Structure 1
Amino acid sequence: MTMIFQDPMTSLNPVKRIGEQIAESLRIHMNRSRSEAMAEAGDLLEQVGIPEPAKRLRQYPHELSGGLRQRVVIAIALACGPRLLIADEPTTALDVTVQKHILDLLDDLRKERGMSMILITHDLGVVKGRTDEIMVMYGGRTMEKAPTSTLFERDGLHPYTEALNATIPKIDTPSHTRLVPIPGKPPEVIGKITGCPFVPRCRYSTSECLTDMPPLVEQEKRHLCACHNPVSTPEGIKAREANQNAGHTPAGLDMKEFETSATQADTGEL
């Protein structure tokens, strides 16, 4: 098992050449000689699509672009032939075009090597066409888990998943349309969280959500959700209507915040 971290500049040692950093794990974990490790390091650079691999082996991280540095990190992660690769926001610091190249590369390498991959990201658009299953987490807890196709067909059963889907820009929306934000702010996870961690930002919340953390249960086949009032269910519809009539949720969230966001998204007002 290996891991790719968010920022390649902080993942790589700035005072070591690229070749040395890749070869190190091969020498330590695979018992390769120095010459064998350097030869394999060059092969790995070629596999991840870095041009002139022999030249890159002698360079330092600051001499490479952000996209090339990320490819070096991927090469290091693949060096010992892992069965599981964990990619934590692997494209955060890259522009959109380079992001696609890196994600395509990871997908191709996964298929070629027959390994599994866990892709950690806040962008549902990134995982839509690249994963078999999605687990949505919030405040350190699992909110929803389903096959990728199922989750996107339903826009999610959990209010947080629904809110995340609403923040994704749509190609058919008018120019200058505002994105739909999620009201409030993420929870403080240092202390113990009572009840559902999403309750301060949820339009479907009830008093039960303030005190009881809902268990992760199967709502539909292979579709698990941790919510007392899942979206589009009778309980969810009832809870949302009650909050709209009251003007606020049991947690004190003004329902007008959702109305304002929806209006701006529909009209494109600035």
Structure 2
Amino acid sequence: MGHVRDLPRSQMGVDTEDNYEPKYITIRGKGPVVKELKKHAKKAKKVFLASDPDREGEAIAWHLSKILELEDSKENRVVFNEITKDAVKESFKHPREIEMDLVDAQQARRILDRLVGYNISPVLWKKVKKGLSAGRVQSVALRLVIDRENEIRNFNPEEYWTIEGEFRYKKSKFNAKFLHYKNKPFKLNTKKDVEKITTVLDGDQFEITNVNKKEKTRNPANPFTTSTLQQEAARKLNFKARKTMMVAQQLYEGIDLKNRELLV
């Protein structure tokens, strides 16, 4: 179902003179849905709000509570992370109030989107090209890209070389990098520098003077975020973002095993 209320598209919809108070209207096309919900809510003994367990979902629940004229103090918000019979039943055992911190965060995000978009987009139309849009995230991201591009263009490349040797001790074999010569750092800026060192080192005897043993801890990879999931799916599976999100949604909803519980 998604959002049922939003800021109007035809105007700013944010009163900058009154503490940035947003003006919400029913989204075009959602009128029949709202009407149907109101009809059933009036007949119901209790209404539960089970939108997604995230910032947007919390805001949707809050908007619905206002539309359906539910009491703010009522514990009518239920959340679950998997759509299975047990998970849904368990969530209804622990209803809670709407978390206004999440709602406020979503409203702040939406208001910022509107303020930035409505104020900067017209400048782009006038100065650059009609139809371009500016946004809370994309405008800042574009600035970062431009700054990085300028750094790349202004960078003066310098030639450098490295020397790596393969060493054997009894049955062991390992690689080592050249760092300094006679305890003094030696820059390898040209092929001539490399040849000068390799001429000195060629056929020489080497010895291990010190061994430092350290314990290393390798932590498991962090759980995926939406962006990292899309990046890995694109890199390893060549998935487009839309396909990745479709598969993720299917996994979230579960796989129909026919005559058996949903597997999530």
Q: Fold-level match, TM-score > 0.5?
A: no
Normalising by the residue count of structure 2, what TM-score does the alignment of the two structures yield?
Answer: 0.23
Higher relative contact order, structure no. (Cα contacts within 8 Å, ≥ 6 residues apart): 1
Normalising by the residue count of structure 1, what TM-score does the alignment of the two structures yield?
Answer: 0.23
